[in-house]
Structure 1
Amino acid sequence: MQLVIVTGLSGSGKSIVLKMLEDSGYYCIDNLPATLLPQISEHLSNVQHEQVAISIDTRSASLEALPDNIRQLKSQGMDVQVLFLEANVETLVKRYSETRRRHPLSKDTSTLAESISHERHLLEQLVDLGLRIDTSNLSANTLRNWVKEFVIQKNGELTLLFSSFGFKHGIPLDADYVFDVRCLPNPYYDKELRPFTGQDAVIRDYLEKQENVHRMYEDIQGFVSRWLPCFVQDNRSYLTVAIGCTGGQHRSVYLVERLGAYFRQHQQKVLIRHRELEKS
């Protein structure tokens, strides 16, 4: 049985993910108490559900039991994957204002922002259990596509996730490492190159003529290669490397594509995301 656990902040998109998984054939359970995870997993396995998704968040009791329960299931040979969804405070406040829903931790004595901050604190122990996804700048459709990529990955081997982004749209919350490449020559200032992206040949040709671009690539590639074995030994499932330029259209996209191609050639599992391109 493949088990996907969906957790994270209220308003970050867990319902969208759970509905997408249900439409994809998963047997879904919303708001399961964390202490019941081992029992319900055993029951569903016995009734031959091959794909199961369970949502566990601050509405559930005994969250502190979740990390040990996940480790227990993995030690029994179950394919367990964890999705942690989050978003920045501004985005969550806006979403709650638009839907006019009440935050699950809200009280008469606390503001919405304070309730969000309290929930983030309660979920701190769950952040590193699996893949983090910052949904602040994601459309619902992009989130669905990213989750589809996630669930098809096989368990047991670390996956490298390279993501491009634009600093003017905010730093992604889900990155383990962030590299700033705004110091590199910017094709944006050439009016003929501006409409293209780092996935286009004209941008690749332009950047590959720049010596500092090669130096930056070699430094990032060397850093990730050098420290990757340590993350493997630490039993990490995912390592997210975010590369940012000003708008997230040219330099960061080019470097993410190039790094992804390099590590794929070296038998590494790789996912590639371009936050601003996918958003547009």
Structure 2
Amino acid sequence: MEIVLITGMSGSGKSVALHALEDSGYYCVDNLPPELLLTFAELEQTRGAKRVAIAMDVRSATSLPLVPAQLDILRAQGVTVRPLFLDAGTDTLVRRYSETRRKHPLSRSDLQDQQHALYEAIELERELLADLREQAHVIDTSIIRSSQLQGYVKGLISAPNTQLTLVFESFAFKRGIPLDADYVFDVRMLPNPHYDPDLRALTGLDEPVMRFLQHSPEVRLMFAHINKFLTHWLQSLARDHRSYVTVGIGCTGGQHRSVYLVEQLANAFSKRWVTLKRHRELDARGGVFMGPSPGQKSGSTIF
């Protein structure tokens, strides 16, 4: 049996992730108390269940410390466990709660300043969930759309769980560094196709931009340096039983240089490792926002 355990910050999109898994054929349970995890897993095994998804959150704060040991027990019994942790920036979470006027499960009602109470509750939640975050694959939902999150979750569960999976993600520094990145490489010093009027509207997936960057010695050198760094350390990370490693490649707009390098690196490493690709800014051009970035009008906010 395979269990996908979804945890994370309140308001980070756990319900969206759970719906994506339900669409993929998983039997889904929301807000299962940790005390019942082993009993529930045993029940599902007797029923012959193959794929189960469980969401837990800070409403079970007092018993969350039990979870890591329970996951070890399940693994020892031959159950495949995939922990996912959904995260988002504090300002994003505050904005989502303000828009929906929902109350955070850890908010204190005795404080007059409810905005301060919300910030306090979010920081307390981060502290309570720190151990679960450390052991899970993290997905940053701060500025992605619900359709992006669903695609990310489906991509992760489709990857083999028997070896380390590399996730390469392009992004724009002007919209923030992804919280889920294990390594971040800044490629803003490379030649920028944006300043060529014929290339400005294109992306790193288009042949003219690819040719422009392929002919740059600086781009080739940057690729070689990142390739060498990852090649040297990935085997050590695999020996440390890491299931996922997320590598963020960032440029100014997340459209040309970072996209191109993500494509080239994913192609190079796919010969040795399971690789997934994400283009945060390009993927965000369709669907419904998980939450607006600063200065943008709000889209549908999904909890």
Aligned positions of 1:135-174 closer than 5 A: 135-174=141-180
Percent of paired sites with the same residue? 51
> 1 CA distance for matches of 2:146 and 2:256?
24
Whole-angstrom CA distance in 2 between matches of 1:43 and 1:154 = 25
Which whole-Å CA distance do the structure 2 matches of 1:130 and 1:269 have between them?
Answer: 18
Find 2:250's aligned residue among 232, 235, 244: 244
For 2:8 and 2:222, locate their aligned partners in 1 and report how far apart those are by CA, in whole Å. 34
Alignment partners' CA distance in 2, 1:76 and 1:219: 42
Alignment of 1:1-280 (within 5 A): 1-60=1-60, 61-108=62-109, 109=111, 111-265=117-271, 267-280=272-285
Q: TM-score, normalised by structure 2?
A: 0.90
The answer (yes or no) to whether the contact 2:181–2:246 under 8 Å persists in 1 is: yes
Cα distance in 1, alignment partners of residues 162 and 253 from structure 2: 35
- Displacement of 1:277: 0.4
Which amino acid in structure 1 is aligned with residue 26 of structure 2?
Y
Shift in Å, 1:98? 1.5
TM-score under structure 1 length normalisation: 0.97
Structure 2: gaps spanning 5 or more residues: 286-303
The answer to whether the 8 A contact 2:204-2:257 is kept is yes
Structure 1 segments unaligned to the other structure (5+ residues): none
Distance 1:150 1:213 in 2: 29
> Cα deviations across residues 43-94 of structure 1 (Å, max 9, x unaligned)?
1111111111111111114111111111221122111111100000111111
> Counterpart of 2:42 in structure 1: which amino acid?
E
Distance 2:274 2:24 in 1: 23
Q: CA RMSD in A?
A: 1.1
TM-superposed deviation, 1:19: 2.0
Distance 1:19 1:99 in 2: 20
Contact 2:88 2:179 in 1 (8 A): yes
Q: How many Å apart are 1:135 and its aligned residue?
A: 0.2
Which amino acid in structure 1 is aligned with residue 198 of structure 2?
A: E
Provide the rounded CA distance (Å) in 2 between the counterparts of 1:23 and 1:250: 33
Counterpart residue identity of residue 247, structure 1: G
Alpha-carbon distance between aligned partners in 2 of 1:223 and 1:18, rounded to the nearest angstrom? 35
2:58 counterpart SS class: coil
2 CA distance for matches of 1:174 and 1:259? 18
The CA distance in 2 between the partners of 1:46 and 1:224, in whole Å, is 43
> CA separation in 2, counterparts of 1:24 and 1:259?
28
> Which moved further from structure 2: 30-39 or 95-104?
30-39
How many residues were matched structurally? Answer: 279
Q: CA deviation at 1:23?
A: 3.0
CA distance in 1, matches of 2:36, 2:242: 25
Q: CA deviation at 1:36?
A: 2.1
Equivalent AA in structure 1 for residue 40 of structure 2: I
Deviation at 1:25, TM superposition (A): 2.3
Shift of 1:12: 0.1
Residues 186-229 of structure 1: per-residue CA shift (max 9 Å, x gap): 10011111011011111110011111111100000100000001
Secondary structure of the residue that 2:59 maps to in structure 1?
A: coil
Q: Deviations over 1:19-46 (max 9, x none)?
A: 2222332211111122321221111111
How far apart are the structure 2 equivalents of 1:167 and 1:149?
A: 24
